[in-house]
Chains A and B, each alone.
Chain A
Amino acid sequence: MENILSVRGLTVDIPLAAGTLHAVRGIDFDVKRGETLCVVGESGSGKSLTSLAIMGLLPKQAQRSAQVLDFEGVDLQTASNRDMRKLRGNRISMIFQEPMTSLNPAYTIGDQLMEALLLHRKVPKPVARDRAIELLEKVGITAAANRMKQYPHQLSGGLRQRVMIAMALMGEPDLIIADEPTTALDVTIQAQILRLLKDLQRELNMAMILITHDLGVVARVADKVAIMYAGEMVEAGSAAEVFTAPKHPYTRGLLNCIPVPGKTAVGEHLGSIPGIVPSLIDDVDGCAFRSRCDEATAQCASDIPARISPAGHLYRCVHDYDMNQPKSGKA
């Protein structure tokens, strides 16, 4: 099937007093209709900036560039403001990381939901209202008609995020970008909301980019996985491959961090990979993971080209890593 979104060589630079922050450093990926791409990476790896770059909603000072940034034949780099407006909320929707602050405190839930449709379709208000109520019910909000009249401050975080999801669906988008839609929420609600998103995505046959920290989630919903590290996509491929045959030491580190039932005590700090991410200000030479990598060699200080595994998945590491024959004998 045709790719709905194609990204090649996407970069986002932010000029700061100390120099230019290369927050996103040349990433490539594709998403097809009906497919879920999960983007995983530590805090600060550039996941949100990547989504905002696709939406054309980067902070003012940030600069975006790409070789390819194509949404169904539309070049998002050259699209006019007007064309971008027609896409946003209509064909591409985004659910933000911050449910508490993403709704306008001055308007009712109903107003804000209906606006998402009325901006793009010439439909009578009652039609928009019915659709809003229908979607609120679909995202599991009871007494939807009453909720329509409420203001954001009257709703809990979980409800607000459901409203945000309903809002993103108002225009029946072809692509939905969900940026850690559950991190701000209670653990019990997290699973519900993710299941909901996945169901809706299947039902409406949308493409979905789901950004998350949670590899457990990825294992359940992803068709494809992209691992981001320090603004780069260090590994990307089908979920099955990335999980069963991770190539990049960082990916393997992450997979080792997944809590194992019975072995990981409740509340125990989830094992994270020791070390810190290098500064992305000014040029970054060689592999950015070098300082934390057990398998680093002298070669790692030079530029690391992207490599394709025999099974067809992409990774950026000098080693031709094979799970069955660990080179360093550690792993």
Chain B
Amino acid sequence: MLVYTLKRLGLALLVTLAVSMLSFALLYLSGDPAAAIAGETANAEDIEAVRIYYGFDRPWVVQYGEWMFNAIRGDFGTSYYFKLPVSQLVAERLSVTMLLGVCGISFALLTAVPLGVAAAVRPNSIIDRIALFLSVMGQAMPSFWFGLVLIVLFSIKLRILPPSGSDNWQNFVMPTIVLGYYAMPAIMRLTRAGMLDVLGADYVRTARAKGAGEFRVMFKHALRNAIIPVVSLAAVQMGFMLGGSIVVESIFALHGAGYLAWESIGRNDLPTVQALILVFSMFYIVFTFLSDLLNAWLDPRMRVG
């Protein structure tokens, strides 16, 4: 288990390094940063002054090293637009994104797992068909379109939920559903497939032979084994959601990190974009790493090997 953990950790660090280089390179990929800062009206001399002031004239490696060093200390520079420390901006917005992520994954798990179990217990039943329908819908509908449908329905027609903002819990209802519904189909199908597999297992028959009731057989004996891959999928999706909530946050004008990213791209606010990309990728990497650990921890065959 220790060797396994170390291996995974090493891999995670390598990916982090690659991602950090990419987000650093973004500065140059999007054109001359000095020109961007100096503004449209600046002449060549102004741009050169900015270049020297910001240190863009130094070698790449030095700039990357400095940027990374600062980033590790939590200093991502100053936002071109807000003229505030990027770290402060991001930290403020991240709590909203994390709340949305937790709500989204909970919504996905709470709907997908029971539905997947029910579908597996009675394959080809009405429930199974409904589950299949919901999952195909979830895959087919783009998030932004589903979000707009919900806004039309609940905010404009029924007037029971606010269409945008992030002030109280009502603001989170629709974003949670849209984000959660995005993750739901994969979780549901994995639960269903896992349960179908496990329900035919000899140890499930053993549990029945001991006199265990149906509920105990399903949840203690079957689901406990079927859920292992589901948990790690959910962890990966959670990481993805924290970074991938850009679309959802912008539809509902939920002032989270995703919304900030969307705004910052529009404003050409490179330090903020860089920081966000790094943070989003870190979430993804950390949760993928956690998912591997969780997988090993839930499966005794991997835990005690």
- Residue of B202, B206, B210, B301 with most chain A CB atoms under a 10 A cut-off: B210
Q: Is the C-beta of B59 less than 8 angstroms from some C-beta in chain A?
A: no
* Residues of chain B within 8 A of A93, CB atoms compared: 209
Q: Is the C-beta of B300 less than 8 angstroms from some C-beta in chain A?
A: yes
Q: Is the C-beta of B205 less than 8 angstroms from some C-beta in chain A?
A: yes
Contact bitstring B197-217, A, C-beta under 8 A = 1, else 0: 000011101111111111000
Task: State the main secondary structure of chain B at its contact with A.
Answer: helix
Q: Is the C-beta of A133 less than 8 angstroms from some C-beta in chain B?
A: no
Q: Is the C-beta of B221 less than 8 angstroms from some C-beta in chain A?
A: yes
Query: In the complex the two chains form, what is the Cα distance from A129 to B180 in whole Å?
Result: 43
Contact A87/B211 with A102-B202, A104-B206, A104-B225 known, Cβ cut-off 8 Å: yes
Query: In the complex the two chains form, what is the Cα distance from A120 to B216 in whole Å?
Result: 14
- From B209, B211, B301, A105 is in contact (CB under 8 Å) with B301
Q: Contact: B210 with A115, CB < 8 Å? A: yes
Q: In the complex, what's the smallest C-beta–C-beta distance from A122 to chain B, in angstroms?
A: 14
Q: Is the C-beta of B304 less than 8 angstroms from some C-beta in chain A?
A: yes
Q: Contact: A90 with B203, CB < 8 Å? A: no
Q: Is the C-beta of A153 less than 8 angstroms from some C-beta in chain B?
A: yes
Chain A count of residues within 8 A CB distance of the other chain: 31
- From B213, B214, B304, A151 is in contact (CB under 8 Å) with B304
Q: Is the C-beta of B129 less than 8 angstroms from some C-beta in chain A?
A: no
Closest to A91 in B: B211
Q: Is the C-beta of B159 less than 8 angstroms from some C-beta in chain A?
A: no
* Residues of chain B within 8 A of A171, CB atoms compared: 211
Query: In the complex the two chains form, what is the Cα distance from A164 to B209 in whole Å?
Result: 11
Q: Contact: B225 with A89, CB < 8 Å? A: no
Contact A96/B211 with A106-B224, A154-B304 known, Cβ cut-off 8 Å: no
Contact A98/B209 with A106-B300, A151-B304, A153-B300 known, Cβ cut-off 8 Å: no
Q: Contact: A88 with B225, CB < 8 Å? A: no
Q: Contact: B206 with A119, CB < 8 Å? A: no
Q: In the complex, what's the smallest C-beta–C-beta distance from A223 to chain B, in angstroms?
A: 24
- From B206, B211, B224, B299, A103 is in contact (CB under 8 Å) with B206
Closest to A111 in B: B220
* Residues of chain A within 8 A of B221, CB atoms compared: 104
Closest to B300 in A: A151
Query: In the complex the two chains form, what is the Cα distance from A321 to B213 in whole Å?
Result: 50
Q: Is the C-beta of A57 less than 8 angstroms from some C-beta in chain B?
A: yes
Q: Is the C-beta of A195 less than 8 angstroms from some C-beta in chain B?
A: no
Q: Contact: A119 with B210, CB < 8 Å? A: yes
B159-214 CB contacts (< 8 Å) to partner A: 201-203, 205-214
Q: In the complex, what's the smallest C-beta–C-beta distance from B248 to chain A, in angstroms?
A: 35
Contact bitstring A94-110, B, C-beta under 8 A = 1, else 0: 10101001111111100
* Residues of chain B within 8 A of A105, CB atoms compared: 203, 225, 299-301
Query: In the complex the two chains form, what is the Cα distance from A85 to B201 in whole Å?
Result: 19
* Residues of chain B within 8 A of A151, CB atoms compared: 300-301, 304
Q: In the complex, what's the smallest C-beta–C-beta distance from B121 to chain A, in angstroms?
A: 11
Q: Contact: A119 with B211, CB < 8 Å? A: yes
A224-246 CB contacts (< 8 Å) to partner B: none
Q: Contact: B208 with A88, CB < 8 Å? A: yes
Q: Is the C-beta of A167 less than 8 angstroms from some C-beta in chain B?
A: yes
Closest to B302 in A: A153
Q: Contact: B212 with A119, CB < 8 Å? A: yes
- From A89, A108, A153, B210 is in contact (CB under 8 Å) with A89
Beyond the given A57-B205, A104-B203, A119-B211, could you list 13 further A-B residue pairs with CB under 8 A, ordered by the A residue number?
Answer: A57-B209, A85-B211, A88-B209, A101-B202, A101-B203, A102-B206, A104-B206, A115-B212, A119-B210, A119-B212, A151-B304, A153-B300, A164-B206
**Which residues of A pack against B, CB within 8 Å?**
55, 57, 81, 85-90, 93-94, 96, 98, 101-108, 115-116, 119-120, 151, 153-154, 164, 167, 171
Interchain residue pairs with CB less than 8 A apart (16): A57-B208, A57-B209, A86-B211, A88-B208, A89-B209, A89-B212, A103-B206, A105-B203, A106-B224, A106-B298, A107-B224, A116-B211, A120-B211, A153-B300, A153-B301, A154-B304
